Structure 1
Amino acid sequence: MPEMLADLEHLIRCESPSADLTAVARSADLVSAIGERRLGSAPERLVIDGVTHLRWRLGSPDPDAPRVLLLAHHDTVWPVGSLESHPFSIQDGVLRGPGCFDMLTGLVMAIHAAATFADGPGGHLAHSAITLLVTGDEEVGSPTSRALIEQEARGCVAALVLEAAGDTPDGVPGALKIGRKGVSNYRVDIVGRAAHAGTEPEKGLNATVELAHQVGVVLGFADASVGTSVVPTVAQSGTTTNTVPARASFKVDVRALTAAEQHRIDEAFATLTSHTGATVTVAGGVNRPPLETSAAEGTWQRALAVSKGLGMDLPDAIVVGGASDGNFTAGVGVPTLDGLGAVGGGAHADHEHVLVGEIPPRTALLVALIQDLLGD
C-alpha cells in the first residue's frame, strides 16, 4: 500500500487534461517510469495524432496463448492548475485530488496487479499473457486510441476495465459494471434565408423556427421503456436581434443499451425533413457501441466466485449510462467487465474521492480474477 499510494500521489500531482497534449505526454513519461519500476520493463510508447498511449505486453509471445487485456487511461478532465484548489490529500481514510477516482487509482491498481505476474525469470506467465494498455484520450471519446483498443482486445480471454466502481440503486458503493449504454452524437444543420426582421420578415426563412420544430421531432425518437435517451444539447442560431436567422444548428446526445436501438435511432435521424422549407442536413452517428450485459455476464460470474474465495461480498453489478473504453472491447465481441478500479465517488466534481481501505481488496480481486481467467 505505501508504494501504491506513493505512485498515486505522483500521478495526481502530474496534471494531465486530455486537450493539453504536452501535459498528457508529461504524464505518459511518469506512467512509463512507474510502470518500468514495477513491471521490470519499459512500455511501447505509441503517439497517435499527438496523443501519447502506452502498452506493456507481458508473458508468453505465443499469439495463441490465453491473454487478458487490462485497460486504463491516464488523461483526466481537470485543467492544469486544479491542484491549487483541489490538492492531493489523504485524511480519515479518504484520498482526494484531481483525477483520483477517474481513473488514476485504477491505473495504479492495474500496474501493481500486473506486477504480481511479472516477477522472476519469465514471471508467472510462461504459457499465458497480459497486455496493459494505458491510453491518453478516453475523456474526449478516445478518437486516437479506439483502433488500438480494438486491436489489442481481439482474441483476448477478457478485457478488464479499471474505471471506477459505481453505486447500486440503493446507494451501496463498489458495484462492478456489467453494462454501459452506447453513445451516438448528431449535429442537425439548418439553412434558411435572412431578411430584415422589422421591415420585411416575410421575405426570410427563419432557421430558428425550423430548429424548434426539429428539436421536437428528435425528442420523439427517445424510448424510456428500453432505456434510450435522446437529448438536444448545444444549440446556435441567428446573428442579430433584427435579422431573420438564416442559419441554425443543434447537437444531440443519444444513449442506448443495445446496438439495435442505436441502429433505430440512426435510421430515424436519416428521416428528418424540413417543416418550413429550410434545408435540413444531419451529420454524425454512433460513437461508442453499447457494452451489453451479455458481454459481461460470464466474467461477472467468475468475479463473483473469485470474490467469495477471497472472503469478499460484492454488491450487485450495475448498468450505467456513461460510456468507457470497455464499450469498444465489447463491441468487437470480447468478454468485458468494467468498474474494477477505485471505490469512492465524485467523478469530474469537486468532491472527487477514493476510499483508501478499498484499494487493497479490490487489487487482490483483480489479481485473482486474472489468475482465474488465465487458468493459473
Structure 2
Amino acid sequence: MMIERLREYVGAETPTGDAAALNAFADRLAARYTELGASVRRVPMPTGDHLVADFPGRAEAPLLFLAHHDTVWPIGQLDGAMPWRAADGIIHGPGVFDMKGGLVVLETALEQVAGRDHRPLRIIVVADEEVGSPSARDLVTAEAKGVYAAFGFEPPHPNGDLKTSRWGSTRVRVEVTGREAHAALDPDSGVSAIDELVDQLIAVRKIVAEHDNVLCNVGTVTGGGRTNVVPGSAAADIGFRFVDPATEESVLAAVKALQPVRDARLSVQVLSNRPAWQPSAATEALLAKVAAAGRSVGQQVGGAAASGAADTNLTGWLGIPTLDGLGPVGKGAHAVHEQVIAATLTERADLVAAIITSL
C-alpha cells in the first residue's frame, strides 16, 4: 500500500514554483488529511499553496510535523532521465527520497494512530522548501508557537540516524548593472557587467576564506547576450552555509558591504535565510524519548548533526526541541540516482506512530 501511494505521489510531479502542479498535489493531501480527521487550512501563495492540518488530541501542547511537497525536478523528469523503478527492494524516481517518501511515511503513521490517545498534531506542508521556504518562514514561525516538539520528514543520515542540528543556509543574489557599447568600435565607453561580476565573485571567495566552517556555492550565473556587445547586466545566485550565527552575520555583513570595482552599479539581495540550528540539551532530551519509542517497535534510533538545511532550522533556532530525518532511508537527494530502501517506509511509519503515541 505504501509503495503504491509513493508511486502515485512521485507520478504527480511538483517542481518548485509550478503553482498549478503544487496546488493539485496539495488538493490530494488536504483531502487525505481531512479523511483522517484533520481540520485543514490552505495558505495561498503565488508560487503554490502551503497546507496546515490540525489533528485533535488530548489537552496538551501539540507535536509539529514539517514537510514539503515541492521537488527540484522539472515536469517531464519522470518520463526522461528518472523513470519510476522498483527492483530488489530499491525504489527510484524524482522526489522519491526528497521528500515524497517522507510524506507517505507521515500519512501512514497518521492512519496507524487514528482513534488512539495522543497529543494534538499540527502538520505544515510547504510549497517552496527547495528554494529556502521564502514564503513559508512566517507561517512556520507562527504555527510553531507553543508546540511541545517539532519533527521534520526530510531524509535521514545514510545509516538512518535522525538529524539533531543543521548548518544555517542563506541564498544571496549579486546583480551588476554596467553599460552596453559596441565591443569593437567603442569598447571604452562600455562597462562590462560580467567583468564586474567576476571580480565581485572573487571578492566573495576571499571573504569566505577568512572564516572557518563556511560553504559557498555559486549556483547560477547569468548576463550579457552577444560577444560583440559589452554586457550591460549580469547576476549570480550564491548559496552560503554557516555552522553558527556569528559566522553567518560576519560573512553576510561583508558581502552586503561589497563595492563596485569599476563604474557599475552593484546590488546584493538576500533571497532566503535559514538560521543555524545548533545542538541543544532540549533536542538531546527529545532524542532520548524518541529512542525509547523506537525500542518499543524494535528499532535502534540514533542522531547526529547535519550540514544540509531545511525548515527544521527555524524551529531549532527558535529553541523548540527538534529532530529531522524521519523520511525513509535512501540516497541521491537532488541527483538522478535518487532512491529509497522500500523496507524502511514501513519501519519509519512504525517509528513515527510510536513517537506520536508515546510523547
Give TM class, smaller chain.
0.7 to 0.9
Native 8 Å contact 1:221 1:230 kept in 2:
no
Task: Report how far residue 33 of structure 1 moved.
Answer: 3.1
CA shift for structure 1 position 251: 2.6
> Displacement, 1:135?
2.5
Give the 3 Å change call, closer, same or farther, for CA 83–199 of structure 1 in structure 2. Answer: closer
C-alpha distance after superposition, 1:97-134 (max 9, x if no partner): 32211111211211222333331xxx413xx3111222
Deviations 1:271-323 (A, max 9, x none): 21233343333222652212222374332333334334444234552412x32
Greater displacement, 157-166 / 88-97? 88-97
What is the letter of the counterpart of residue 334 of structure 2? Answer: H
Question: Is residue 53 from structure 1 mapped to residue 59 from structure 2 by the alignment?
Answer: no
Identify if the C-alpha distance between structure 1 residues 34 and 305 changes in structure 2 by more than 3 Å, giving closer, same or farther.
Answer: same
> What SS is found at the alignment partner of 2:160?
strand
CA spacing shift, 1:148–1:61, aligned 2, 3 Å: farther
Secondary structure of the 2:195 match is: helix
Q: Partners of 1:253 and 1:358 in 2: how far apart?
A: 31
- Show the counterpart of 2:94: 98
Partner of residue 75, structure 1: 70
Cα distance change of structure 1 residues 268 and 309 upon mapping to structure 2, 3 Å threshold: same
Name the counterpart of 1:110. Answer: 106
> Structure 1 pair 105/285, CA: closer, same or farther in 2 (3 Å)?
closer
Residue of structure 2 in register with 1:170 after alignment: none
Q: Corresponding residue for 1:155?
A: 146
- Within the candidate set 22, 25, 29, 2:23 is matched to 25
Matches within 5 A, 1:214-229: 214-223=200-209, 226-229=212-215
Question: Structure 2 unaligned runs (5+)?
Answer: none
Question: Over aligned residues, Cα RMSD in angstroms?
Answer: 2.7
* Partner Cα distance (2:204, 2:52) in 1: 41
Please name the residue that 2:327 is paired with.
Answer: 341
Check conservation: 1:69, 1:159, Cα contact below 8 A: yes
Tell me, in whole angstroms, the C-alpha distance in 1 between the residues paired with 2:327 and 2:198: 42
Matches within 5 A, 1:145-224: 145-167=136-158, 173-223=159-209
- Distance of 2:192 and 2:38 partners within structure 1: 62
2:48 touches 2:128 (CA, 8 Å); kept in 1? Answer: yes
Q: Return the letter of the residue paired with 2:44.
A: V
Name which of structure 1's ranges 9-18 and 342-351 shifts more when overlaid on structure 2.
Answer: 9-18
SS of the counterpart of 2:49? strand
Equivalent-residue separation in structure 1 for 2:44 and 2:324 (angstroms) = 25
Q: Distance in 2 between matches of 1:95 and 1:137?
A: 24
Q: What do the CA deviations read for 1:329-362 (whole angstroms, capped 9, x no partner)?
A: 2233322111111111122332222112122222
Identity %: 34
Count of matched residue positions in the alignment of Structure 1 and Structure 2: 357
SS, match of residue 84 in structure 1: coil
Q: Is the 8 A contact 1:179 1:319 kept in 2?
A: yes
The CA deviation at 1:228 is 0.8
Shift of 1:154: 1.6
For residue 117 of structure 2, the aligned residue among 124, 128, 144 is: 124
Contact 2:173–2:271 (Cα < 8 Å) also in 1: no
Q: Deviations over 1:207-236 (max 9, x none)?
A: 343323222111012159742123333233
Give the aligned residue type for 2:227. T
Report how far residue 188 of structure 1 moved: 2.4
The residue correspondences of 1:4-19 to structure 2 (distance < 5 A) are 4-19=2-17
TM-score calculated relative to the size of structure 2: 0.88
> Taking structure 1 as reference, are residues 58 and 203 closer, same or farther at Cα in structure 2, changes over 3 Å only?
closer
Separation in structure 2 between the aligned mates of residue 275 and residue 366 of structure 1, nearest angstrom: 54
| Higher alpha-carbon deviation: 296-305 or 356-365 | 296-305
Gap change, CA 1:241 and 1:29, over 3 Å in 2: closer
Structure 1 alignment gaps of length 5 or more: 168-172
State the shift of 1:52 in Å.
Answer: 2.5
- The equivalent position to 1:352 in structure 2, one of 326, 338, 357, is 338
Query: 1: distance between equivalents of 2:272 and 2:45?
Result: 22
Residues 1:92 and 1:233: Cα distance change in structure 2 (over 3 Å): closer
Q: Contact 1:238–1:245 (CA<8 Å) still a contact in 2? A: yes
The alignment's TM-score, normalised by the length of structure 1, stands at 0.84
Contact 1:114/1:130 (<8 A) preserved = no
2:293 to 291, 303, 306: 306
CA separation of 1:280 and 1:9: change in aligned 2, threshold 3 A: closer
Deviation at 1:61, TM superposition (A): 7.9
8 Å Cα contact 2:177/2:266 also seen in 1: yes
**1:332 and 2:332 equivalent?**
no
